[in-house]
Amino acid sequence: MSERIVSFVMSGGVGSRLWPLSREDNPKQFHDFSGDGSMLAKTLRRLTARPDGETPIFLIASERHADRVHADLAGLDLSGGGP
C-alpha cells in the first residue's frame, strides 16, 4: 500500500503583521515582493512543480478574498505534471 501526499495551502489573516503595506483586504500573501508573483502564486507553482505531478492541492482561503485568489491564480497552470 502506498501513501498519498496531499497538500493544503492556507491563505488567510487580517493583514496586521506587515502593516502598513498589508491590510485586511490586501494581506501579505497577495503581495509580489520579488517581482515574480504573489507569495500565494509562488507557493502553488512550487507545489505543482513536484516531480510526482499527482499531488492534490487544496487551497483554504477566506471567502472575502475569493475574487483576489481567483485573479492571482488565473495565469497559473495548476494542472500539475511537473516541470
- Grid cell, residue 80, equals 500539475
pTM for this predicted structure: 0.77
36 within domain boundaries: yes
51 within domain boundaries: yes
Q: Give residue 35's identity as a one-letter amino acid code.
A: G
23 within domain boundaries: yes
60 within domain boundaries: yes
Residues 6+ away with beta carbon under 8 Å from 81:
48, 53
- Residues 75-82: what's their mean pLDDT? 65
pLDDT at 42: 92
Say if residue 81's pLDDT is above 60.
Answer: no
33 within domain boundaries: yes
pLDDT tens string 29-67: 888 888 988 999 999 888 887 776 677 889 999 898 899
44 within domain boundaries: yes
79 within domain boundaries: no
82 within domain boundaries: no
Q: How many CB atoms lie within 10 A of CB 10?
A: 10
Q: How many CB atoms lie within 10 A of CB 50?
A: 16
Tally of domains within the chain: 1
b/e map 61-73, b = 16+ CB within 10 Å: beeebeebbeebb
